[in-house]
Structure 1
Amino acid sequence: MSRPDPGAADEHPRHEDYSTRHALTPIELPLDDGEASTNVDLKTQIIRFIITGAGSGVLDFGLTILLQYVVGTPFWIAKSLGFILGTTTAYLANRRWTFQAEPSALRFFAVAALYGVTFFVNVGLYTWLSHQWPEELLYSFIAYVIAQGTATVINFVVQRLVIFRIR
């Protein structure tokens, strides 16, 4: 993959990242060339948050069910590992695409604290509901939807109103 010639006409506009002496890490690769900001309108943020959440949810639920029903892992451990995979994916996509926010150590720690809270809400609800119902795929799915839905609402509100306003 070649880098654009800095002297070339605007056929390939020079991006600020081309001037660095090191390559970007895969986590920081831009998903678009727009200037990162938090000035994305609410409707766009909600749509992007739902798309990101759906993809992350598939990863979370897929790993949870794989571990729980195929490997035989206890449901609280399976859900914990699914949650970690799903929320890590969601954070990276939401930071760059949904909220278009630059990396920030303070924001990262705020998200880690939020995910700590939603981890206990999500895994706690899933575990509690799993104890109430038979351990069958349909009931696991319903428990997942309830737990994930509750955590998703908490995540969106706190991320939009607090975390992605942090500079």
Structure 2
Amino acid sequence: MPPVRLHFQPPVTLSAESDDPVPPTEQLELVHKEVDRQRAAIAARRNAMHTRAAVLVTAAGILATIQTTSLQNGWQFISVALSVVAAAVGLWTMWPAGGDESDPKDLLDKYLTVEPFQVQHRIVMDGVQALSGEMTLLDKIALRLKIGYSILLGVWLSMVVISGLHACGCI
């Protein structure tokens, strides 16, 4: 089997003793550690956002339960419906998303025949690409949470307004 040609040219410097190129392995290791650190930080933020989404679903369920147990008029179904929508947004926020991880079997087949620096460089580049995808996903999750909590605020406001209107006899 011929060696695999990777589609990148890693930067190199010349050795002081000879004209042989020397890959910048120390810099690549630093970049690798930084990418791993950022991916771990993003994973922690994603877990925290999933916790907030679980709180959103719980709060929406509690508000819907409060409304349905003391139903006084048909207008209260507005806040119940908004509670269901807020809970659905919270569940959508927690929906598992696929990762951008490489298949280990493909990595093994592809990288056994190339130089160690090229393998490490490709792994770092894959990590950078996965980091970019994770950051995009995190932005989407944050937007969904903002939407869900905004709807939950609408639930609370509609409960207050409808209860006030009912108390004064307007509805």
Tell me, yes or no, whether TM beats 0.5.
Answer: no
TM-score scaled by length of structure 1: 0.33
TM-score scaled by length of structure 2: 0.32
**For the pair shown, which has the larger CA radius of gyration, 1 or 2?**
2
